[in-house]
Chain A
Amino acid sequence: MSHGNMNLTLKVWKQKNKNERGRFETYQAKGISPDMSFLEMFDVVNEGLINEGKEPIAFDHDCREGICGMCSMYINGRPHGPKEGITTCQLHMRSFKDGDTIVVEPWRSAAFPVIKDLVVDRSSFDRIMAAGGFVSVNTGNAKDANNILIPKDDADTAFNAAACIGCGACVAACKNASAMLFVSAKVSQLALLPQGKIEAKNRVLNMVKQMDEEGFGNCTNTGACEAECPKEISLENIARMNREYLGASLT
């Protein structure tokens, strides 16, 4: 496929604000290069819309390199589209065929209300973090990095959990709109390290409490979250959180 000759039909969710019901609208994306990212394709479409004096499609984005977790788009029935281990900004148009119809929806979750079109409010994640996703330390001089020795395995597992970018694809993918993978990653990244162990009990209790209050669903272990997570966060984290929670509740 040479440059700039892909023509696609987009069915995109349009919604004015939180309170409006919203509907699908159809757009033509013409002259798209297979080397464009999915977001760049949206930029082209939006430019066209602006030139025609129409309202562009609102979507979230920031880093455009898979680290900020903003680009929430549910593409053809999958969060972040048809590829594994990437975000929407890392998805390229060569993953589609000329003439394809692509359905793009916002994340669907009671805890992620749609603000406009494809933009959702994920501040429920922030409130979960504020409930316990931290370690309390006295400020002062930075300590020597090797002051506290940490087994390599623990450090790696914690680091893998910390790779979570809070994108919410796990919630979007889950049939129950459950936030277990996200919360478990955040619980794990701290519970595995000596600095985090001190507050581990209250952390897991408070974060789960906040998660429930935000209206996320209950995990039924379908594994869709792990399959769709751009950072490939493992289900083992959920088991770890279950363990931590059980322990913290019963003692």
Chain B
Amino acid sequence: MSNTSGFLFSSLGKKVVMGATGLFLVTFLLVHCFINALIFFNDGGLTFNIGAHFMGTNWLIRTMELVLFFGLVLHIVQAAVLTRENQKARPVAYANPGGNVSSSWYSRSMGLLGTLLLMFLIIHLAHFWVKSRFTGIPTEDANGHEDLYAIMQETFKQLWVVVVYVLAMVSLAYHLLHGFQSAFQTLGLNHKKYTPLIKKTGVCFSIVIPLIFALMPLAMHFGWIK
């Protein structure tokens, strides 16, 4: 075990932290998307509020919320450290930096996409999380659950909010498009048989999940669901 501490501070170790926290955040997205998609039952938010109530009161979920927060901070801090190091590794820039011939623009823009997502996240937490956890939700639905659904409807009445959310989901899609398969490569999980499958799954995930998320503000704003 003599190398374990050095591991976390090595270039490869830091990347493993990025990949592992990234994959953990992917599982969070999956759960979050699934619960939120309950709004599409189009029952005035009754089913969705049950889901939200469960997520807000279950002790296991609440514990995972802390782990999630920790994972997110680690992912962001590590990204900042790595970005700084990488900038130092090329002190003089190329006059002609080359284009998209040998790599995709989004794989080179993970920091930018991530920063956009962080900005979105702050807005997003202020919209919903702060209300449901701290300041409280004023109304209840027919089942006597806090009416988070009503807050969503209220929030998405504003067009600028819808625009910001949809754009953020575009950033998320590109962030995932590189990040998903990249995490597996970093963890050394590369295999002739499975890598193509991982890549395809990554592409599907990167399109489907942000799309479902983006449909939520759109559906509410344009009254597709009531």
Contact = CB atoms under 8 A, between A and B. Distances in A.
B101 A227 contact: yes
Contact of B10 (A209, A220, A236, A238): A209
A248 to B, nearest CB: 7
Contacts of B107: 220-223
B96 interface: yes
A91 to B, nearest CB: 15
Interface stretch (B62-70, B156-164, B169-177, B181-189): B181-189
B90 A103 contact: no
A218 B96 contact: no
Interface string A29-45: 00000000000000000
Contacts of B91: 110
A223 B188 contact: no
A77 B99 CA distance: 7
Interface stretch (B36-44, B80-88, B130-138, B142-150): B80-88
A109 interface: yes
B89 A221 contact: no
Contacts, number: 141
B27 interface: no
B104 interface: yes
A246 B190 CA distance: 14
B190 A239 contact: yes
A195 interface: no
A110 B190 CA distance: 30
Given A222-B104, A223-B102, A77 B7 contact: no
B223 interface: no
Nearest to A74: B94
Given A176-B89, A217-B85, A242 B187 contact: yes
Contacts of B90: 108-110, 175-177, 217
Given A209-B10, A222-B103, A103 B95 contact: yes
B124 interface: no
Interface in A189-215: 205, 208-209, 211-212, 215
A243 B89 contact: no
Given A105-B94, A217-B86, A240 B11 contact: no
Q: Which of A76, A222, A243 has the most CB of B within 10 A?
A: A222
Contacts of B12: 208, 241-242, 245-246
10 shortest interchain CB distances as A-B pairs: A243-B188, A239-B190, A77-B98, A217-B89, A227-B102, A242-B188, A176-B86, A249-B7, A222-B103, A77-B96
9 contacts: A24-B95, A105-B94, A110-B88, A212-B11, A217-B11, A219-B15, A224-B102, A242-B188, A250-B1
Interface of A: 11, 22, 24, 74, 76-78, 103, 105, 108-111, 173, 175-178, 205, 208-209, 211-212, 215-224, 227-228, 235-236, 238-246, 248-250
